[in-house]
Copies of this chain bind each other. A is one copy, B any other.
């Protein structure tokens, strides 16, 4: 049986608390869903700083400092921009781990022609570790694409937390 997103978030927050690590998010297409899930978990106030919702390109630049030329060269839905979003979050908030999500939740392809269901998830740690994953989720509903993206971010956070021996 698949774990609910709520239970998964609860587990991730517990791992973070056990390791005295803290979490933050930088979200585009999921628009705060991951931050919200993490903040609802028990003990979140000790381990979840919050995050950034950067829905427009202008706000990716303004709020987390994604370079304009990166957006122009790779479009907002790319591994480079996902990593830049996560690193921008790391610079602008005190978390030990930052998860970033950028993608096309649909129902239409984005303005740069990226297809519905294309999502990049990046997680960076203050200790230098980083991971980026490309998801090709296809033409699912907006809700399903967001849930899959959030699930991937939780899984990567879990991996990086579990690999960190307190």
Contacts and interface: CB of A to CB of B under 8 A. Distances in A.
A53 interface: yes
A50 B54 contact: yes
A24 interface: yes
A122 to B, nearest CB: 17
A39 B55 contact: yes
Contact of A52 (B52, B58, B94): B52
A58 B53 CA distance: 18
A31 B24 contact: no
A45 interface: yes
A70 interface: no
Interface size class of A (residues with CB under 8 A): 20 to 34
Given A31-B40, A36-B36, A52 B45 contact: no
Interface in A81-132: 92-95
Given A62-B94, A63-B92, A50 B40 contact: no
B39 A35 contact: no
Given A48-B56, A59-B95, 16 more contacts: A31-B32, A31-B36, A32-B32, A32-B35, A32-B50, A33-B36, A39-B55, A45-B55, A45-B56, A48-B55, A49-B55, A50-B53, A50-B56, A56-B94, A58-B94, A59-B93
